[in-house]
Amino acid sequence: MPQPAPRPERPFTLGEVFDDEGALSWQERALCAQTDPEAFFPEKGGSTREAKRVCVSCEVRAECLEYALAHDERFGIWGGLSERERRKLKRRAI
């Protein structure tokens, strides 16, 4: 099993996340790839409304959320959920 990459000093943008083959096919279809990435990584206390509105209609929302949960993403909106919402979801799953 491959080891996780070291954590960057800044959060990845969605366009910078790659798997062993060099790309994520679901990511190429993600609506966020056509949107300002700043919306998905708001400042602390900033609004997540714009990012979540994009996620609601995204065809790869489930894949995005699955990726974030599997890779313990700690920053940003992934699959329509904030970091706090993803933590709650993981706690309920245990």
* Calpha distance 84→92 (Å, rounded): 13
Q: Is 38 annotated as a binding residue?
A: no
Q: Is 62 annotated as a binding residue?
A: no
Q: Is 27 annotated as a binding residue?
A: no
* Calpha distance 94→91 (Å, rounded): 5
What sign does the dihedral 58-34-64-85 (CA atoms) show?
Answer: negative
Nearest residue to 66 via CA among 44, 93, 37: 93
Q: Is 75 annotated as a binding residue?
A: no
Annotated binding residues, written as ranges, equal 32, 55, 58, 64
Annotated binding residues for [4Fe-4S] cluster, written as ranges, equal 32, 55, 58, 64
